Structure 1
Amino acid sequence: MTTSSRPIRVGVQIAPQHSTYQTIRDTLAELEDLGVDIAFNWDHFYPLSGEPDGLHFEGWTMLAAWAEQTSRIQFGPLVTCNSYRNPDLLADMARTVDHISAKDGGEGRLIFGIGSGWFERDYDEYGYEFGTPGTRLDSLSEALPRIEARWEKLNPAPTRDIPVLIGGGGEKKTLRIVAEHADIWHSFSDTETLERKLVVLSDWCEKVGRDVGEIEISTGVRGATGEAAANLDKQLDLGVTLFTLGITGPDIDMQGVRDLVKWRDSVS
């Protein structure tokens, strides 16, 4: 049983690859029915696994459809690539999608996941400058204040303070950016690595004058049975409250999702 005041949440990333959109739509509906807390996609232009030129869909137009389709589940990109869009435009897109998701006068449900980008083929094929990990992180650091400032200017304003999720584990730059801007920090760290990085994140928060407890800790997981479940328990003890499983076509297997939801309910 976690001592965190935050609820334990299950996220599922539907890879927008190797499936028809009908399949993706039906999968999202099933996730909502199963009680999953957050549905993610990703922001790439080509598959990341399997056939390199297989079926694939663009992420933000998909998120707008998800906003209209669903009524309860939160959703967002895991993660959008900062390099692909002007930051002010990206802020406006996020605000609009968030409004689309608001039902019956309530708040929107978008989780604004963002990172510096890494998949070189996206850059080369679509004409973006790839640069270096350092220059891409510098661009992310410059973009986030612009995004936050644009949200302050938009009319209508966002329905609420849109939660910012930052993905990545770099200790010199990424975790500083997390300390400065993130409501949620996501990584794919194993338990030992996560423990070390949480110390680094706490140090960065102290340097920028922020309480590390304000940041929800999120991790990618491989399942919720056997050894995988034991790892979930260990990460829960470290303060992780958002656990995200990836699923992909062409043969989407929902059993792992059911197991993860069952585990969440058993420890909540």
Structure 2
Amino acid sequence: MSHPSFGLMTAPQQVDYADVHRVWREADRIPEIEHAWLFDHLMPIGGDPDGPIFEGWTLLSALAASTERLRLGLMVTSNRFRPPAVLAKIATTVDVVSGGRLEFGIGAGSRPSLPMARREYDAHGLPYHDAEHAVESLAEACTVIRRLWTEDKPFDFDGTHHRLTGAFANPKPVQRPHPPIVIGGRALATLRVVAEHADRWNIPGGDIQDAISRSARLDRYCEEIGRDPAEITRSIFLPVAYDQPETTRAAIREATGAGFSHVILGLSSPYPAGVARWLTDEVIGKSR
């Protein structure tokens, strides 16, 4: 397995912009932290349900302009929130602003089992279809976005869930042929979309044996369509326990030992002073 890559995630809820900006600027100066992430929710999914939360892509663009080295993205964009052609334009803008550092994270959208996330759709006038619709829509969105990033002439797209006429994108992303596509999720239907479209697959933590099982299922789905499973980097999200760093270190060792070479460490707010340096010294450095 290749050397593990470590990043951090700051959920932009129950925090001020200055707090997130401080952590990212600190992390940008620490080579051991290679990537940084936000999430994509419109209302808080933890803490005060009426507390502050920032829109992910807007904040990501600001942080892209404030950093120089970190690769960056949303873990992961809800495909339910934005039409794919609009999302492709937004993502291209961030890739240009960052000088080609975007990791394009996308997923089917919030699970029905998470009521705090479910409410944001009604609150913003957004439709919430069933899981089958969401996964089919995700697959079509990935196709549309990739074509907009790579094709030099306008095209029409007549899908089941998305229809475009004269679709075209200019400028293109800085990264060629396009930014890495990171698809998040653990459902088997989503894994089929991962097999076809993703450069990285992220699973949101949980039981490591379940993650290993789903990684093996992804291997089989890749083989069914004639794709080398090794082309898809395995990524995992792990929460950080400030008061029990050994718990996080053990989770990292377990995950990397199971083949998850891309590790995203979730920081809870409020963020302690010097948290990125602490994360590097007490968690990343001691987990190797």
Q: Does the TM-score normalized on the shorter chain lie above 0.5?
A: yes
Look up the match of 2:106.
114
Provide the secondary structure at the position in 2 that maps to 1:226: helix
- 5, 10, 24: which is aligned to 1:9? 5
What is the alpha-carbon distance in structure 2 between the residues aligned to residue 76 and residue 38 of structure 1?
Answer: 8
CA contact (8 A) 1:8 1:264 kept: no
Identity among equivalent positions (%) equals 35
What is the alpha-carbon distance in structure 1 between the residues aligned to residue 275 and residue 259 of structure 2?
Answer: 22
CA contact (8 A) 1:223 1:256 kept: no
1:155 aligns with 2:173: no
What is the alpha-carbon distance in structure 1 between the residues aligned to residue 53 and residue 256 of structure 2?
Answer: 34
CA contact (8 A) 2:26 2:274 kept: no
Q: Mark the runs of 5 or more structure 2 residues left unpaired by the alignment.
A: 111-116, 152-168
Provide the secondary structure at the position in 1 that maps to 2:144: helix
What is the alpha-carbon distance in structure 2 between the residues aligned to residue 210 and residue 259 of structure 1?
Answer: 40
What is the alpha-carbon distance in structure 1 between the residues aligned to residue 107 and residue 273 of structure 2?
Answer: 27
Look up the match of 1:23.
19
1:82 deviates by 0.5
Q: Return the structure number with greater helix share.
A: 1
1:155 deviates by 2.8
- 221, 224, 245: which is aligned to 1:204? 221
1:34 deviates by 3.1
Provide the secondary structure at the position in 1 that maps to 2:261: strand
What is the alpha-carbon distance in structure 2 between the residues aligned to residue 226 and residue 26 of structure 1?
Answer: 25
Look up the match of 1:182.
198
1:78 aligns with 2:75: yes
Aligned CA RMSD, in angstroms, stands at 1.9
Query: Judging changes above 3 Å, is the alpha-carbon distance between structure 1 residues 258 and 223 closer, same or farther for their aligned structure 2 residues?
Result: farther
1:43 aligns with 2:40: yes
1:245 aligns with 2:265: yes
What is the alpha-carbon distance in structure 2 between the residues aligned to residue 23 and residue 231 of structure 1?
Answer: 26
Q: Mark the runs of 5 or more structure 1 residues left unpaired by the alignment.
A: 103-107
Letter in 2 for 1:114: I
1:152 deviates by 1.4
Provide the secondary structure at the position in 1 that maps to 2:179: coil
What is the alpha-carbon distance in structure 2 between the residues aligned to residue 236 and residue 128 of structure 1?
Answer: 38
Point out the more displaced range, 258-267 or 19-28. 258-267
TM-score (norm 2): 0.83
